[in-house]
Structure 1
Amino acid sequence: MIMPFLPLYLKELGMEDPAEISLWAGIIFGANFLTAFIFSPFWGRLADKHGRKMMILRSGFGMAIVISLTGLATGPISLLFLRLLNGVISGFIPAAIGLVSTNTPKQHTGQALGILQSGTVAGAIGGPLIGGLMSQAFGYRMIFFVTGAFILVAAIGVMLFVKEDFTPAKEVKTKTSTIQEFKEITARKPVFSIYAVILMIQFAIMGVNPLLSLYVEELSPAANVSLYAGIVVSVTGFANFMTSAWLGRVSDRKGAHNTLVYSLLGVAIFTIPQVFVTDIWQLIVLRFFVGLCLGGLLPAANTLIRMHAPTGMESRTYGFSNSAMYLGSMIGPILGGWVVSLYGVRGLLLITSLILICNVLLVRYKVMQPAEQTFRKQNQHEPN
């Protein structure tokens, strides 16, 4: 509900220079991902000690307070501080991924994560719509208060209705550093390669999405830019929503590694023609097909993380995975904006498709073989 309106909120806080607003909006947008990237492994370690549900509640109640306080910001400095703080305590959805994956039988993990992804995408589609209507009726500050209230309701719902089957790992007397834990986790193939895949997925998605409106402006009449920009974003999200649960079930039957590689290939194939479109309807159709394939990416990658995580270190494994995701989300828009300034949006789409093809090769040669072996062993030991 709130992210599309940050630049407009800065105007309400008294900023007038468009260049200054753009600069601050970029800094404030990335600040949340920066602190989330830094703190995610720490929260993962606590989750392995105290449970994933506790981390969801910590994040839910914390974000409810911080986002509500954001509605009381007095200028860009206070807004930046609150976004940094939000990144420190955020992680509701990543913690939910950890809880769902570790409390679901491994042979059904893909389907469960696919359903969770559908809920996430549904919120991403509906949030800006509701936020847009509310901002017109009540102003931008009210959006932060309502968003905080929604997150509070979600946290209370988890507290009352979500049960977790959690047994803490046995305490090891020898204390280990975050770096040592990272080395231990990534020593298990193909975990490090999956982290790289997740980083590049987020880099490719977040590098393009915020800048698509510039491409829409190039392809459509000026009077309809806002409408068509909304359609391009919504059609991608809707297609993602349609396929997430189904591709999750496919992952359980055929292997998450197969779903990941073919979904990546599909996103790359449907991204390349976007470089050459001449009409807005062509872009809308291609973004729809991209969305169909996007539904299989992160659920499949998170299923693979679950399959290969060391016993007792599942949340820490997801913690580093979340850091890779946040890092990609942070640098994607920054480098995407730089590429657009040099080569335009068409150049960005071409570079993005090349990155996705490299990702396909990474999965094919670094992930497929160990993932296939683990998948076969799992199916041999699990009842049909």
Structure 2
Amino acid sequence: MPDRLKSAQRVVTFTIFLDLLGFGLIIPQLQYYADAFHATPAFIGVIQAIYSLMQFLFAPFWGRLSDRVGRRPVLLVSIAGSAVSYVLFAMARDAQMIFLSRLLAGITAANLSTAQAYISDVTPPQERTRAMGLIGAAFGVGFILGPAVGGVLGAWGGNFAIGMAGAALAGANWLSAFLRLPESLPTHNRRQQGEWYTFPLRDLPRVLAIPHVGLLALVLFTAIFAIANLESTFVLLAKHRYGLDQRECGYLFAYLGMMGAVVQGGLIGKLSARFGETRLLLGGYLLQAPALLLIPLMPSTGWLMAVLAVMAMGGGVAGPSLNGLLSKLAPADRRGEVFGVTQSLGSLARVVGPAWGGWSFGHLGMSAPYVTAAMLMLIADVMVLWWIISAVPAVSASSE
């Protein structure tokens, strides 16, 4: 790969890292500050949900827009908007201002679809799974460091310090992209026709109709729905089943992030070259299904950590493999649209998944969300098997 393209790939990966670092600064503190500003429990829930809802609505917009005008201007505008959202959080003196900051943050953070399309533009097909793994690793490292730094800043200077630190990171992110990020989508590959935005559920049928892409998009939704059951109930399970406190739960989340970052940042390229994306996708979900089922059943925290490591490794190989396959199958002038819709589906899964996980945990028992998650992972694996039977020849041809 030419040095210019390697440099662009590093800049985009750094952009995502800074995005997630800023995201991690705020997320663990949201409930605390919303409560301090006398928000009702219901409104605190709305504040948490609005971010994913805005991603659901706006990911297709950013993706489609980048197909029309190019990736660089979309990334620059969305990063600048992210900086404004952090300033709003810093200046917040009531829960309504926090709500507004999270609404704007969700709109601008939907640019992940554009970053994924950019990586696909500048990376040869045979190296895209490794590149998508680096994106996943940037996610993991940013989310590990963010909560720790946010806790220190919050203790020192409250929401003002946290918000201004996030704004400074976004400003550095914008400057890096402005100076070092060339346009990746040539004019002749840009989409010349079609709407700039449609409601996500209207756009979905068009993406599902792209040969061999639709089933993979549904696989992504199913897998994220499964993991959202864990994300929304794990702290409660750790407290009531394993007797862990808030600090120890934070360590476990950091441990999960580190395991995923090691696999996605260091191993996925070699594994992909040896086994191929389809086998890694299938194997990743096969690892995650039994691990999810066993999480509430372990006799000790040590065994729990072992099961979590298996789950993290499965997710570490499955996620980049799925995105690598999508990048190969999406037409060059529709990559932004495809990644926009898949990101939108992922956001929708993170809205409805926690709702089911929380309800089933409270009404059906502590194991219920994990049984659901394991079943969904097995369903995703069956869908992958069906996709392999019908689509592998097409993927092989697109990689040549």
Deviations 1:33-69 (A, max 9, x none): 1122112112111101111222221211110111221
The whole-number CA distance in structure 1 between the counterparts of 2:81 and 2:293 is 41
From 272, 279, 285, give the equivalent of 1:258.
279
Moved more, 249-258 or 114-123: 249-258
1:106 aligned partner: 125
Determine the C-alpha separation between the residues in 1 that align with 2:221 and 2:174.
28
Alignment-mate amino acid for residue 289 of structure 2: A
In 2: Cα distance, 1:37 partner to 1:220 partner: 34
Q: Provide the secondary structure at the position in 1 that maps to 2:92.
A: coil
Alpha-carbon distance, 1:280 to partner: 2.2
Q: Are 1:64 and 2:99 matched, yes or no?
A: no
TM-score by length of 1: 0.90
Q: How many Å separate the matches in 1 of 2:195 and 2:291?
A: 48
Residue type of the partner of 1:203? F
Structure-2 residue corresponding to 1:8: 32
For the residues of structure 2 that align with 1:349 and 1:115, how far apart are their CA atoms? Answer: 28
Q: Which residue does the alignment assign to 1:317?
A: 338
- Asked if 1:272 corresponds to 2:296, the answer is no
What is the one-letter code of the residue matched to 2:228?
Answer: M
**What residue in structure 2 maps to residue 212 of structure 1?**
234
The answer to whether the Cα contact below 8 Å between 1:275 and 1:350 also exists between their aligned partners in 2 is: no
Describe the shift of the 1:126–1:136 C-alpha distance in structure 2 as closer, same or farther (beyond 3 A).
same
What's the secondary structure of 2:257's corresponding residue?
helix
Identity %: 22
Cα 1:77–1:126, aligned 2, differ >3 Å: closer, same or farther? same
Structural mapping, 1:364-375, within 5 Å:
364-365=385-386, 367-375=387-395
- What aligned pairs does 1:104-253 form with structure 2 within 5 A after superposition? 104-168=123-187, 169=189, 172=192, 178=198, 182-221=204-243, 225-245=245-265, 246-253=267-274
Q: 1:95 aligns with which of 114, 129, 147?
A: 114
User: Unpaired runs of 5+ in structure 1?
Assistant: none
Partner Cα separation in structure 1 for residue 317 and residue 290 of structure 2: 15
Whether 2:95 is the aligned partner of 1:73: answer no
Spell out structure 1 runs of 4+ moving beyond 4 A. 170-177, 179-182
The Cα of 1:117 is off from its aligned counterpart by: 1.2
1: CA distance between counterparts of 2:202 and 2:355?
30
Q: Distance in 1 between matches of 2:70 and 2:353?
A: 31
How big is the shift at 1:162? Answer: 2.1
SS in 2 for 1:296: helix
- The 5 A counterparts of 1:45-56 are 45-56=64-75
- Calculate the aligned-residue CA RMSD, in Å: 2.1
Distance 1:176 1:125, change over 3 A: closer
CA–CA distance in structure 1, aligned partners of residues 32 and 197 of structure 2: 42
CA 1:144–1:207: 2 relative to 1, 3 Å: farther
**Which runs of no fewer than 5 residues in structure 2 stay unpaired?**
1-24
Amino acid at match of 2:356: L
* Partner-residue secondary structure (3-state), 1:14: coil
**Aligned-residue offset at 1:252:** 4.4
Corresponding position of 2:5: none
Q: 1:79 to 1:306 in 2, by over 3 A?
A: same
Change in Cα spacing, 1:210 to 1:38, as seen in structure 2 (3 Å) is same
| C-alpha distance in structure 2 between counterparts of 1:151 and 1:254, whole Å | 38
Q: Could you say which residue in structure 2 is the equivalent of 1:24?
A: 43
1:331 and 2:355 matched: no
Deviations 1:99-132 (A, max 9, x none): 1122101111111111121111100111111111
C-alpha displacement at 1:302, in angstroms?
A: 1.2
1:144-170 deviation line (CA, Å, top 9, x unaligned): 211121122112111111223321346
Change (3 A) 1:170 1:205: closer
C-alpha contact (below 8 Å) 2:75/2:115 kept by paired residues: yes
Which AA in structure 1 matches 2:79? G
Per mean C-alpha deviation after superposition, the further-off stretch among 287-296 and 84-93 is: 84-93
User: Number of residue pairs matched?
Assistant: 372
2:56 counterpart residue number = 37
> Over residues 173-230 of structure 1, what are the superposed CA-to-partner deviations in whole Å (9 max), with x where a residue is unaligned?
6769747764443222321111111112222222212321111112344xx5123212
Q: TM-score, with normalisation over the residues of structure 2?
A: 0.87
Output the CA distance in 2 between the equivalents of 1:126 and 1:333: 24
